[in-house]
Amino acid sequence: MARPARLRDDAHAGRPARGRDVARPPERLAFTFAWELEDGARDIETLVTITFEDQGGKTLMQFSQGVFETPDDCEGYRGGWESEFDQLAAYIVRK
């Protein structure tokens, strides 16, 4: 069952975001995501889906987010996700 979530991203000065998550551990995580605007309204909502697949002792992670209204909207998220995945990779290497 989906439940409401309030997310914060330090890279965006604590600007709140809202969404609903739907998890099917261990193979799929999915949640909706929308920035909360200064006036309290919500920005466009997107669906983020991350799947995990066993590849003979390794794990294939696939990520998608959409649907965006414009290509520029999509590009606006790229840097944030690349930074998050870089941090994840560094964490995995340390373990």
Confidence of residue 2 (pLDDT cuts 50, 70, 90): very low
Class level of CATH domain 3-94: alpha beta
For residue range 3-32, list pLDDT tens digits in order: 444 444 555 555 666 666 666 777 888 888
| Integer Cα distance of 14 and 53 in angstroms | 32
Question: Does the CA dihedral 16-76-50-48 come out positive or negative?
Answer: positive
Which residue from 44, 43, 35, 42 is spatially nearest to 15, judged by alpha carbons? Answer: 35
